[in-house]
Homo-oligomer: A and B are copies of this chain.
C-alpha cells in the first residue's frame, strides 16, 4: 500500500469512526492516538477537558506529524461532546469495564452506521455521566493480574478491531 500525502489524507474517504478523549493526561498517549487515527484513516478526534490540543512538542514525539493530518476539535465537556455526537447520529461506546459491557470480540457493528468511542482518563477512566450518556460500553477481555491496558494500547486494539469490522462490511 502507498503512503498518502497530507493532501491525499485530507481528501480521502474516512472510516466513520470518531475517537473522544475524556481528560487524557499523558501527551504521549494523546500523540499515540493521533498516530493510530492516521494509520486507520479515522474521521476525527474530539479532545475534551484537560486533554491537550496540538501542536505540542511532547505530543509530537509519539504523533510524529499525525497531529497535523487527523481532523480534531476541542469540547470542554466530554458529556456535551457525546451528546453532540449522538444528536449527529453517531452510536457512542465508552471503552470501560462495566457490568453491561460488550466484550470487544463479541461486538457487532451495523454497516452504514457511524460510531464514536470514548477513551477515559488514565486513572479515573471514563466519567460515570459520560458512560450513562453512551449507547453502551466496550471492554477488552483480559486474563492477567492487571486488567487495565495502557490507554494508547487500548485505543489501538479497539480502533483496529472496529476498523476491521467496518471495512469487512463496507
Residues of A at the B interface (CB closer than 8 Å) are 1, 3-6, 8-9, 12, 28, 32, 35-41, 62, 64-66, 69, 105, 140-147, 149-150, 152-157, 160-161, 164, 168
Assembled-state Cα–Cα distance A62/B3 (Å): 30
Count the copies: 2
Assembled-state Cα–Cα distance A45/B153 (Å): 18
Assembled-state Cα–Cα distance A168/B141 (Å): 13
- Residues of chain B within 8 A of A153, CB atoms compared: 32, 35-36, 152-153, 155-156
Assembled-state Cα–Cα distance A32/B146 (Å): 12
Whether A145 lies near B5 (C-beta < 8 A) is: yes
Whether A4 lies near B150 (C-beta < 8 A) is: no
